Amino acid sequence: MKTLENATHATPFVFSFSRDLFSFSFPASHDSTALRIMTRTLPRPDKLSNSTSPTSSSGGGTAMRVIVPLQGVVQGRGGLFLGSVIPCALFYFLQLYLRRFRNDPGDPKDPNSSSPPPRTGSPNTSPSNSAGKLTELSGFPRSLSRSLLSPRNTGGPVSVSSRVSSILKSGESPFYLGLKRVEDDPYHEVGNSGGIIQLGLAENKLSLDLLEDWLDQNAREALVGGVANCEESNSSGIASYQAFDGLMELKVAVAGFMSQVMEKEISFNPSQVVLTAGATPAIEILSFCLADSGNAFLVPTPYHPGLDRDVKWRTGVEIIPVPCRSADNFSVSITALDRAFNQARKRGIRVRGIIISNPTSPVGNLFNRDTLYSLLDFAREKKIHVVSNELLAGSTYGSEEFVSMADIIDVEDLDRDRVHMVYALSKDLSLPGFRMGVIHSYNENVLAATKKMARFSSVSAPTQHLLVSMLSDAKFVEKFVKINRDRLGRMYVEFAGGLKKLGIECTKSNGGFYCWADMSGLISSYSEKGEFELWDKLLNVAKLNVIPGSCCHCIEPGWFCFCFTLLTEKDIPVVMERIRRISETCKFHS
Amino acid sequence: MLISQQLTDPTPNKPTFIYLLTVSSSRSRTDGPNEASVFGGSFCKPMTQTQTRPTTEPERPKPTAATAMRLIVPLQGVVQGRGGLILGSLIPCALFYFLQFYLKRHRSPNPSSDPPSPSTPSSNLADLPRTSSRSNLSSRGSFGPVRVSSRAGSLAKADDSTYYIGLNKVKEDPYHRTNNPNGIIQLGLSENTLCLDLIEKWVSENLTDSIMGSDGGDLSISGIAAYKPFDGMTEMKVAMASFMSRVIGKAVSFDPSQIVLTAGATPAIEILSFCLADHGNAFLVPTPYYPGFDRDIRSRTGVELIPVHCRSTDNFVFSITALDQAFNQARKRGLKVRAILICNPANPVGNILPRETLYDVLDFAREKNIHIICDEIYGGSVFGSEEFVSMAEILDSEEVDKDRVHIIYGLSKDLSLPGFRAGVIYSYNNSVLAAAKKLTRFSSMSTLTQRLLISMLSDTRFTQEYFEINKRRVKEIYDSFVAGLEQLGIRCSESNAGLYCWADMSALIPTYSEKGELELWDKLLNIAKINVTPGSACHCIEPGWFRCCFATLSQEDIPVVIERIQKVAETCKSPS
């Protein structure tokens, strides 16, 4: 039993070894190749047996007994079996040995605890070497105390989890570097006209005035009413515990809002809605629910750079990028999905779902009905989930029709179990600060699990009460969405037009806050390096923070993402002027 | 990965399984006592199991007698004692190793899903035929249901802990003095509603100013609508730090830069667990502990909780000996202990850890080189005479390595604002702080709530008044509740803090066991209509203890509760 346990613990290392062991023995279908293989595997056991045999046995006789069969192996007489088993076993013991001693770097100063007893079954052997004659654990002397120890430097630094180091490392992508730089030196029309202009954060400030008007008039009523509520009836006020997955009133309001925004005859069932503190935890919770550590999701590229963190950090789930090309206007093809799926499978990775963003971020195009159908077909064929991120559904402005995944499901009534939607108010209602995300799923198990996980990320009650009033105000919502769409569309046309004058083409966008611009004409070399150089120039010389395509895992270099919703119309000429200056220096060189 | 590639490769690679085939064939051929003793017991199974994979291969190489002999000869040597120690141990070991390897590969994909079928080889992946489409598939039932992850599967199952069963039961039929006098009275949720009137008064007076700002204008709307740092606004951290100094720290000043704000104490603890331990590591937790920890800590992080048992004779204060024992036992089981999680004032017992114990814990943690998580969420809910000592106070006075200490705080209990979801991680470790700040993107407080709280916490006159009144009210309700229980002969453990009392009902349980305890709990819930938390949900090793949260009761409710308990107590006493 113990060896079993140890073997499973030691797998990462053992695995890698066994893999090449297999690859050695695989092609040996004929005797001649077998011979070659054997001699290739030999050096390892030879070295090892020299070092391990004295410890496990003594005397030349036994040594000979090992060497003789090994010689047989070399000369091709030992057979495959011994040739593979012996090195393997030796490595196995080496693993065990290493593992034992790697485990305890934490307390090197304490000889008593740093070497655990080799046999697990004998509890009384370990304390005896340091605790003198006392063998009973209860009588174990508490030798360490404040008086005996110098308080510093005794134990070495305490270690944190390995997750921490990977999380800390991941902050170095240009996406986050750029955001940070803007924080240090933000542009202001009057106050800091030489500062960095933020074009890298997906936030919409075009319609905040509407929100402010509403809050001025209604906030007080919405919240004070909420507190008073708890005195009269037993139901929830703003102070007391709420259902972690959201108030029913808010779920109803959100479901209504979603139907309204998607402009279709879709109705969302409030009981299939789970509320979380933002879209980020919504995606993470879904990842926890749909995949286990080591599984993967397929994600068409370019995708939003934040997704890597949201999906991968804590869940241990991988993202497999499915490259899309400018030739297809960056829309996903089933062939590409299929190829990525099969490649993942060959690598031994289990794909559990596809995450799409519709309207896509950062490109801004929409999935048409046919693509959605074929996605569903693909998912059904592969038995995987589909997560449709429809954060920007209410921020469409183009002529094309937006088709929600829910719309498809409604019509076809396929096996809905595999379809999950993520929504939020941070984009469509310009309220990222409110941290309101939505999971909508047709899968009972997923719903049950997400409801429980919502306790790690629930929306505060004052926020919920305010939102109930806001979303229930149908007149306000309608007006807001309409005006916001108009403003977004106008801004896009203006911004894309400005870029066009500089000779920079954008993909045709139908929604979202971005211009996805092809600046490959300006990069010094057609590579990621060239792209970074331009990004660096834009940030440091032109003082514009944009997102380079490589952060979005775009495979074609030279694409950049400009988020225009933090600008006012007055800012656009400033931005264009700054880009122009850079583009001139770039063209000069080439 | 390589293996699967090789397997799907159409050209057969015979030797991979030559040895397997030869072994099994030789066994069936000779069938002698010698062979049987070599492949004894569990030994045989791996061979037959491993063999199943090669059989799916289209072409099977024929076992040749020569290879079989090459294998058997050394094996016979082993049997007859001439093989020596090394072969005798290596061969079974290697075979077990392959068994492991095999099982491991086949465990992660679930049995219902088909294994990668080698029958669809395609040298060119790009032109793989897209067979399925809407037209030629019946849309239903053609494939099995899609699977969820195993962690979701375990969470989606119905609750089996009595703690959650009770809570759910109350939701269905809550007691109300006038509307539903026969409903279930909630004594299982640690919530304080005694001072909601104070909160309400404050909110109605200060709401508009706090959210919209007194001057109004453009700044205020982007102040609440826009993206803010996920780990909390600086103003909020400053307000929280000074609030914590006043409430739990006494003389200690908390540093706002060491604060990370989360949406409640639950995510705070989870984020800390993610930072301090890897999957499969463990925390030591003195029992009885808050029943929610099991789910909050274990479900997503994969961290184990090792209970450290405390006894009523010590008033449920843990001893270092017990910690040490649990630590060593965990180590023997191969578990790496990364931290000790203490709750001070303790939930559910309500006692306060003495200063000496805190020093001992620090010593212990230093000796074992592990972290300390201090859950001080009840730090401001002290109503007894004993003085609460925060871990921060100990660290302030002593020059010790602070890296290993992390404090959890929140406003759910002390300011009775659980709906606001305000939690705090206060850590002295820079890498933990940096990582926790990044992880708060999964659990951040809404700006609206932060604005409200900034004003509330900065209003020192209000908070001071609140704490005075709250302490008095909690004390009153505690005294009358405990007195009521005492009339029934139920003794409570000595308590100085918290919103609950820890009652010893072992006299009422039919058998002195967990079963007896659960029977009583069931009676209390279904007959007396009172939801309390049984000690077993808190991992208490002594049966018969129950946690009763009293801070949602009013004085008028107490006689009702006591009478209901009395009725059950009478039925319990008569048969025994």
Q: Tens digits of per-residue pLDDT, B316-343?
A: 999 999 999 999 999 999 999 999 999 9
Beta carbons within 10 angstroms of residue A333's beta carbon = 16
What pLDDT does residue A41 have?
38
* Secondary structure (3-state) at B264: coil
Gap between the Cα atoms of B483 and B499, Å rounded: 16
From the list B452, B391, B397, B394, the residue with the least C-alpha distance to B426 is: B391
Nearest CA in chain A to B367: A155
- Nearest Cα of chain B lies from the Cα of A127 at a distance, in angstroms, of 10
Strand partners, B423: B262, B410
The residue among B95, B442, B549 with the most chain A CBs within 10 A of its CB, best to mutate, is: B442
Task: Please state, in angstroms and rounded to a whole number, the distance separating the CA atoms of residues B386 and B25.
Answer: 77
Tell me which residue has tokens 């293996």.
Answer: B3
Chain A interface includes B65 (CB < 8 A)? no
Number of other residues whose CB lies within 10 A of the CB of residue B304: 19
Residue A555 touches chain B, beta carbons under 8 Å? no
Residue position matching structure tokens 């048409």: A368
How far is residue A212 from each of residues A278, B330, B557, measured CA to CA in Å? 21, 57, 44
A76-80, A328-332, A469-473, B185-189: range with lowest mean pLDDT:
A76-80
> Residue A520 gets which letter from DSSP?
T
Cα(B116)–Cα(A190) distance, rounded to whole angstroms? 64
Q: B interface mutation test: which of A32, A85, A248 has the most B CBs within 10 A?
A: A85
| Phi-psi region at B334: left, alpha or beta (left = phi > 0; alpha = psi -120 to 50) | left
Looking up tokens 């209003």 gives: B459
Is A186 an 8 Å CB contact of chain B? no
What is the distance between the alpha carbons of residues A38 and A28, in angstroms, rounded to a whole number? Answer: 9
**Strands A514-518 and A544-545, bridge-based pairing:** unpaired
Instruction: Please give the backbone phi and psi of residue A518, each rounded to the nearest 5 degrees, phi first.
Output: -95, 105
Q: What's the average model confidence in pLDDT over A144-154?
A: 43
Higher pLDDT pick, B167 / A411: B167
Evaluate if residue A74 carries a pLDDT over 80. no
- pLDDT in the model for residue B513: 92
Comparing CA positions, the residue from A454, A228, A456 lying closest to residue B423 is A456
Residues of A in contact with B400 (CB under 8 A): 151-152
A169 and chain B: CB distance < 8 Å anywhere? no
User: Is residue A152 packed enough to be buried (19+ CB in 10 Å), middle (13-18) or exposed (0-12)?
Assistant: exposed
- Residue whose token pair is 């103003």: B235
What is the distance between the terminal CA atoms of chain A, rounded to a whole angstrom? 68
pLDDT of residue A113: 37
Burial-class residue A317 by CB neighbours within 10 Å (0-12, 13-18, 19+): buried
pLDDT confidence bin for A18, thresholds 50/70/90: very low
Reply yes or no on whether B340 is catalytic. no
- What SS3 class is residue B385? coil
Cβ distance A239 to B421 less than 8 Å, yes or no, reads no
Of B196, B439, B448, the CB nearest to A434: B448
CA distance A386 to A419: 5
pLDDT attached to residue B278: 92
pLDDT computed for residue B206 by the predictor:
84
Name the residue type at position B567.
K
* Whether residue B414 has pLDDT greater than 70: yes
- What are the chain A neighbours of B91 within 8 Å (beta carbons)? 85, 89
Question: Whole-number mean pLDDT of chain B?
Answer: 78
- Nearest Cα of chain A lies from the Cα of B504 at a distance, in angstroms, of 27
Report d(CA A25, CA B55) in Å as an integer.
Answer: 18
DSSP line for A152-205:
SSSS-PPP--HHHHHHHHGGGSHHHHHHHHHHHSB-BTTTBTTSBEE-SS----
pLDDT of residue A254 exceeding 90: yes
H/E run at residue A322:
strand A318-322
Angle A373-A376-A378 from CA coordinates, rounded to 5°: 110
Q: Which two tokens stand for residue A8?
A: 């499973």
From CA B286, how far away is CA B308, in angstroms rounded?
Answer: 4
Mean pLDDT (chain A, rounded): 77
Partners of residue A137 in chain B, C-beta under 8 Å: 321, 324-325, 328
Given this model, what pLDDT does residue A166 score? 80
Residues contacting residue A127 through CB under 8 Å, at least 6 positions apart:
A112, A134, A135, A137, A140
B181 in reach of chain A (CB within 8 A):
no
- Inter-axis angle of helices A461-472 and B447-458, to 10 degrees? 130
pLDDT beyond 80 at B557: yes
Q: In the block, which residue shows the tokens 């400033």?
A: A574
CA-to-CA separations, A339 to A322, A332, A344, in angstroms, rounded: 9, 12, 9
* B558 in catalytic set: no
Active-site residue flag, B363: no
- Phi and psi at residue B322, in whole multiples of 5°? -65, -40
Residue with tokens 């289990």: A350
Is A299 within 8 Å of A307 (Cβ atoms)? yes
pLDDT, tens digit, for every residue of A36-45? 433 343 344 3
A134 confidence band (pLDDT: 50, 70, 90): very low
SS3 of A42-76: the string is CHHHHHHHHHHHHHHCCCHHHHHHHHHHHHHHHCC
Assess A474–B contact: CB distance below 8 Å, yes or no: no
Query: What pLDDT score does B467 carry?
Result: 93
Q: Is B413 a catalytic residue?
A: yes
Tens of pLDDT, residue by residue over A376-386, are 999 999 999 99
Tell me the chain B residues in contact with residue A466 when contact means C-beta distances shorter than 8 Å.
448
The per-residue b/e assignment along A204-221, b for 16 or more CB within 10 angstroms, e otherwise, is bebbbebbbebbeeebbe
- Which pLDDT band holds residue A168 (cuts at 50, 70, 90)? confident
d(CA B332, CA A262): 58
The CA distance from B509 to the nearest CA of chain A, in Å, is: 31
Res. B37: pLDDT tops 60: no
End-to-end CA distance of chain B: 66
pLDDT surpassing 80 at residue A306: yes
Sign, Cα dihedral of A353, A359, A364, A367: positive
The DSSP code sequence of B313-358 is GGTT---HHHHHHHHHHHHHTTPPEEEEEEESS-TTT-----HHHH
Q: Does A310 touch chain B (CB under 8 A)?
A: yes
User: How far is it between the farthest Cα atoms of chain A?
Assistant: 95
List the 262-291 stretch of A: residues with Cβ below 8 A of B: 277-278, 280-281, 284, 288-291
For residue A537, what are its two tokens? 């120039």
A308 near B CB under 8 A: no
CB contact under 8 A, A289 and B151: yes
Query: Mean pLDDT over residues B459-471, rounded?
Result: 93
High-pLDDT (> 90) share of chain A, %? 45
**Looking at chain B from residue 385 to 414, which residues have their Cβ under 8 Å from any Cβ of chain A?**
398-401, 403-404, 412
The distance from CA A507 to its chain's CA centroid, rounded to whole angstroms, is 26
Q: Is the pLDDT of residue A17 over 60?
A: no
Predicted confidence at residue B376, as pLDDT, reads: 94
Name the pLDDT band for A274 (thresholds 50, 70, 90).
very high
Query: Is A105 an interface residue toward B (CB < 8 Å)?
Result: no
B22 chain-A contacts, CB cut-off 8 A: 81
How far does B571 lie from chain A, in Å, by closest CA? 32
Q: Within an 8 Å CB–CB cutoff, is residue A88 touching chain B? A: yes
Residue labelled with tokens 């690859």: A23
Res. B451: pLDDT tops 60: yes
Closest residue, chain A, to B299 (C-alpha): A453
Identity of residue A587: K
Q: How many CB atoms lie within 10 A of CB A12?
A: 8
For the segment B285-307, the average pLDDT, to the nearest whole number, is: 92
Q: What is the pLDDT of residues B99-150, one digit of tens each?
A: 666 665 655 444 333 333 333 333 444 433 333 344 334 444 445 677 888 8
The string of pLDDT tens digits covering residues A513-531 is 999 999 998 998 899 999 9
Predicted local confidence at residue B274, as pLDDT:
94
What is the distance in angstroms between the Cα of A330 and the nearest Cα belonging to chain B?
19
**Separation in Å, CA of A46 to nearest CA in chain B:** 14
Q: pLDDT tens, A325-369?
A: 999 889 999 999 999 999 999 999 999 999 999 999 899 999 999
Whether B350 and B495 have beta carbons less than 8 Å apart is answered as yes
* A203 closest CB neighbour out of B19, B226, B439: B226
A425 contacts A480 by C-beta, under 8 angstroms: no
Listed residue (B400, B427, B570) closest to B490, CA to CA? B570
Cα separation, A349 vs A582, in Å, equals: 44
The B residues from 98 to 127 touching A (CB cutoff 8 Å) are 100-101, 104, 108-109, 113, 116, 125-126
Q: Do A383 and B325 touch (CB under 8 A)?
A: no
Contact by Cβ (8 Å): A49, A67: yes
What contacts B142, CB < 8 A, 6 or more positions away? A380
